[in-house]
Amino acid sequence: MIPLAVADPMETAAIMKITGKDAVRQHLAELGFVVGAMVTVISQMSGNLIVQVRGSRVALDRSMASRIMIKEVGKA
């Protein structure tokens, strides 16, 4: 498992674990970041990411992306 923050652009991965306090995990779940969901990194700039999860594009800063642990599936 690696943090989403270090994933390469156009990489698709499965979410394996979400770390952090309950409020942070709840906020990420409301955005679609749940265990088992597939996430694709659209672009990365200065550690900040634009990702696609459950049909929506979401911008995440480095600290939030570091809380999402993924397992690499492959390039989109």
Q: What would the pLDDT profile of 12-61 be if each residue is shown by its tens digit?
A: 999 999 999 999 999 999 999 999 999 999 999 887 999 999 999 999 99
Q: How confident is the model at residue 72 (pLDDT cuts 50, 70, 90)?
A: confident
Please give the pLDDT value at position 76.
53
Which pair of structure tokens corresponds to residue 61? Answer: 């800063």
pLDDT at residue 74 greater than cutoff 80: no
Please give the pLDDT value at position 30.
94
Please give the pLDDT value at position 75.
61
| 2-75 CATH | 2.30.30.90
| CA distances for 28 relative to 39, 74, 75, 76, angstroms | 13, 23, 23, 23
